[in-house]
Structure formats: C-alpha cells, structure tokens
Chain A
C-alpha cells in the first residue's frame, strides 16, 4: 500500500472514532447517572424518596423526600413557559413579519446578546434587583401574618421571572425561523381574501408554523428544567411547596446548593435528584424528536 493510501485510511478511521465519541459520551453519562442515582432509591425506598414531602438530610434521623423539589421544578418550568412563550412568540412575529428592517436590526442583536449573557450574571442581577423588590412586596402582603416565614425576597416568583427571561432567546429564535419558513403563497392567499395582516398572522401563518413553534416551546422547557446557577442565586435555600412567596429548591438548585457539604446517603440522594432531572430531560428530548419528525412528515 502506498503512503498516500495509508493516510487516506488513517483519516477515515480517525474521523469515524471521533464521530463515535458522542455515542460513547451519551452512553457513559446514562450509565453513570443510573449507577449513581439508584443506591439512594433502594436505600430510602422509591416511594419514600420520590413522594416524601420532607427533606431533612442533615437531621439526627435524616429524611429524604424530594416530592416538593420535583413539584417546584415542574411548576417553575410551566410558569416560566406561560410567561416566556407568549412574549417570545410575539417577539418572533415582530422579527419575522411585523417589524421594519431598522427595528428588526435592533431587536435581533438584542435577543442574541440576551442568549449570550452568562447565567451567573442573571443570578447576580436577580439578587440585586428582584430580591429587594420581592422583599418589599412580601413585607406588604404578609405584614399581618406572623406565621409566614420571611425569605428576604429569594422566592419562587423571583426564580420564575429569571427563568422566563432566560428561555426568551430560545423561544424567539426558533419560532422566528419557523415563521420565516412559512410559504409566502398561503400568506398572499389569505391577504387576497381580505384578511388583515394581523388576522393572517394569527389565523394562517402561526398555525402553518405550528411544529416549529412547538419545537421552540419544548426547547425552552428543556432550558428551564436544566437551568441551575441563575436560579440557585434567587430561589432561596429551603425545600418548600412551590407557592409564590416561599423559598424553594429546584432539582438543579438543590444539587448546586448541597453537593459541596454532602456525604454518604445525602450525597447519594443528590445523585438520585440528578437522575430524576436526567429522566425528565430524556423525555423532553424524545418529545422533541417526535415533534420534529411529525413536522417533517407534514
């Protein structure tokens, strides 16, 4: 074999190995998360751990129940989507259909920058701006309720607001590109029939871009579920029911907050929380591929 052909073969083998790294990585992460997450499940008991409402990892007789944490992550994600998706979708409509070029050239870079801001900066601004504001609100609302545990403004609402802002770029970018991909002919048809531009957008264009918009929502959901540092800084440090003015722990913030000083069963329970989060994300991913496939089929 000539030298030339050798290098051809080597190149092919090396690139194949590089391509397989992604598969190896996903498999190892899956195996590790299962291996690390199951011991606590077995020791504490699946029902007690997943549906227990008390989280006292460092008490004399520790209790590990993460039901409120799961609930907080789900409720927080849903609330963030309820705020972020309408705002994001209307912004996408602006970028793709309504805005004139000059304004689009301001809004588009703004959205891109918003996506690039590190999450710790969102957290820091949450501490400086949201928390004092929330604390004032809390003092006003609960001034006659001495049984309320004051949180200093680190609460569920603060976390939701930060999450809603952080998913905006994802929702905006993906929706905008799917709106842009709608065939111009159906738009023209609608306009020719006498529909106004707004009617056309909401009755014709958005339904036609449905699968892309769903993709945007699900990607936003994944982003919100997985965000850790920003909300770790504003959500508070106690496991509670996800009520607006409660200090809460999300799946992610509990791991960030307690990993450093955990040991033994406490640490194992944190890995189980990681496993729960991982399973959620896998479901989101499966959901996502379904939507994309369905969109392609249409």
Chain B
C-alpha cells in the first residue's frame, strides 16, 4: 500500500488543502464582490452633474464637487507637509545618526505613531490644533492631524529605499570630496526616488480612505468656493472629504449618493494600487542595473 509509485493520500492532508484553497478564495471573492457591488449600485449615480456640482435644494442638484475639492486640498497640503518631514527624518536616521539612544527613541516613536488608531489622532487633532491652536474645524486642522498620521508611512518607506542604495555610492562620493548633504541631494535621493514615491503614493491612499481622523477635525462642509479669494480662505474653513460625505449620506439614508461616492473612492484606490505596482516594477529594474 505504501510504495514509492503509489502514494497514499492522507485524508487530513486533503482536508487541509481544501481549507487552504477555500481561505485563499475568500479574499478574492470578497474583493470581487465589493468591486462588483459598488459598481453596480453606484454606476447609475455617476454623471457629469454629480461630479461637478454641489448638493443644493434650490437648484435641485446633487453633487460632490465640493467634497472632491476638499479631498484634493487635504491630500496636497498634507503631502506638502508630511513628505519633507518624513523623508528628512529617514535621511537623519539612515545617513546622519549614530546608533544610540536618540535613534532608538525616534524609531520607537515612529512605530508607536504607526500603531495609534485614527480616531485617537482625530481627538488629539480636534483638541490640539482645533481648540488649543484655535484653528477650529478646518481643512488646516485636518491636514495637520493627517500629517502626523502618515508620517511613519513615509519615513519607513524612505528608510527602506535608502537602505537599498549601495554603500559604494556613498564611499565613491565622499572619495571625490563631496559633502554629506551634497551626496544626499545628488546621489542618494535620486537613487532612492522610486521607493520614496511609492511611500508617498501609499500615503495619498491612506489620506483618501481616512475618515475617523477627519470627522472632528476637518468637519463636513461640501460647498465650493465662489471667488478666487475664497479658494485661499478655504484652508481655514471646514471641508468634508469624500469619505466623510459618504458616511453622512449613509447616515441620512441617501444610499444613492453614498454608492456614487463609494464608486469614485474605489476608482481612486484602484488607480493608486496600479501606480504603486508600476513603481515597484521600476524599482526592481533599477536595482538590477
């Protein structure tokens, strides 16, 4: 019965194989189900009007242009703040710091920051930026809150990218008489760029999907600014992102709008996912060179 040519199939093995394939299938079914369901429910909602107007009872329009704008504001402002700080922190950790207490503390702080739930960031942002600094519910309050939230993501990705730059590059530069900052600027950062951009795109994805940290910091207005000046003032005024509007619409039972927004969000998320894939491939090619 037990020979080399005729293997006995253990029943427990077969059962385990079945379970393993089943579990792997669950993830695929879930994501396929989510995408199909959201597209089926949201597609009829999507129209030029939905994407380019704001919801107004007077005009009888239902639209999310204000929320799209708010989301863009928060993405751009957060990335403008978080990218230099996060990349800079990674440069310090990787290129300047000598192993010791400070480095351990910074790394521990970065890890802790990464583990803090977004609702805590939201409460802190509301009370610190909103109340203590007097920024109230505003896009800026939301931006500052999210900056802290995405910081670890950018720092870690940049660190990983810097680690893959061969040491010979650094030695070569120093040997030619370049200073440290000059080396970083002209050699290390360009070599690590795909990794840094991947981290930045992941951070954008995190910002687009974030809701709990924004509900009580950026607030929920969905209006569009009327004048050029108002576009600037907007930063100090409340603004609800797409996720916040989705939440509020679902609360009010306006599921058509909610699914319209869900579809827009999913498309953005899919695009971001593809962009990181593309960059990862490029990154690998660079490393082989």
Contact = CB atoms under 8 A, between A and B. Distances in A.
Interface of A: 4-5, 7-8, 11-12, 14-23, 25-26, 28-29, 32-33, 36, 86-88, 90-91, 93-95, 98-99, 103, 106-107, 109-114, 116-121, 123-125, 127-129, 165, 168, 172, 196-199, 202, 222, 225-229, 233, 252, 255-256, 259-260, 271, 274, 277-278, 281-282, 284-285, 288-289
Contacts of B113: 22, 25-26
Given A22-B89, A227-B117, A229-B212, A94 B23 contact: yes
Given A172-B27, A229-B247, A98 B120 contact: no
Residue of A87, A172, A284 most packed against chain B (CB within 10 A): A87
A125 B88 contact: no
B115 A284 contact: yes
Contacts of A202: 16
A15 B205 contact: no
A116 B204 CA distance: 11
B46 interface: no
B180 A8 contact: yes
Contact of B17 (A19, A98, A127, A274): A98
A65 B20 CA distance: 44
A93 B20 contact: yes
B28 A106 contact: yes
Given A14-B88, A99-B24, A106-B28, A124 B262 contact: yes
Given A98-B17, A277-B117, A110 B152 contact: no
Contacts of A93: 20
B19 A90 contact: yes
Given A22-B109, A26-B113, A15 B89 contact: yes
A107 B123 contact: no
A124 B246 contact: yes
A112 B109 contact: no
Interface string B32-45: 10110110010000
Contacts of A19: 88-89, 92-93, 97, 106
Contacts, number: 243
Interface in B92-146: 92-93, 95-97, 105-106, 108-113, 115-121, 123-124, 127-128
B212 A36 contact: no
Interface of B: 10, 12-13, 16-17, 19-24, 26-28, 30-32, 34-35, 37-38, 41, 84-86, 88-89, 91-93, 95-97, 105-106, 108-113, 115-121, 123-124, 127-128, 148, 151-152, 155, 179-182, 184, 205, 208-212, 215-216, 243, 246-247, 250, 255, 258-259, 262, 265-266, 269-270, 272-273, 277
B117 A7 contact: no
24 contacts: A15-B95, A19-B88, A22-B106, A22-B109, A22-B110, A25-B151, A28-B128, A29-B124, A91-B27, A113-B35, A113-B273, A117-B269, A120-B243, A120-B265, A124-B246, A124-B250, A124-B262, A197-B13, A228-B118, A229-B211, A229-B212, A252-B119, A256-B215, A289-B111
Contacts of A227: 117
Contacts of A119: 209, 211-212
Nearest to A9: B181
Contacts of A225: 117
Contacts of B37: 125, 128-129
A233 B117 contact: no
A94 B20 contact: yes
A113 B152 CA distance: 21
B26 A117 contact: no
Contacts of A197: 13
A264 to B, nearest CB: 15
Contacts of B32: 110
Nearest to B202: A116
Contacts of B127: 32, 36
A95 B250 contact: no
A18 B109 contact: no
B96 A198 contact: no
A1 B127 CA distance: 45
Contacts of A278: 116, 120
Q: 9 tightest CB-CB pairs across the interface, nearest first?
A: A226-B117, A18-B88, A118-B209, A11-B181, A90-B23, A94-B24, A19-B92, A15-B92, A228-B212
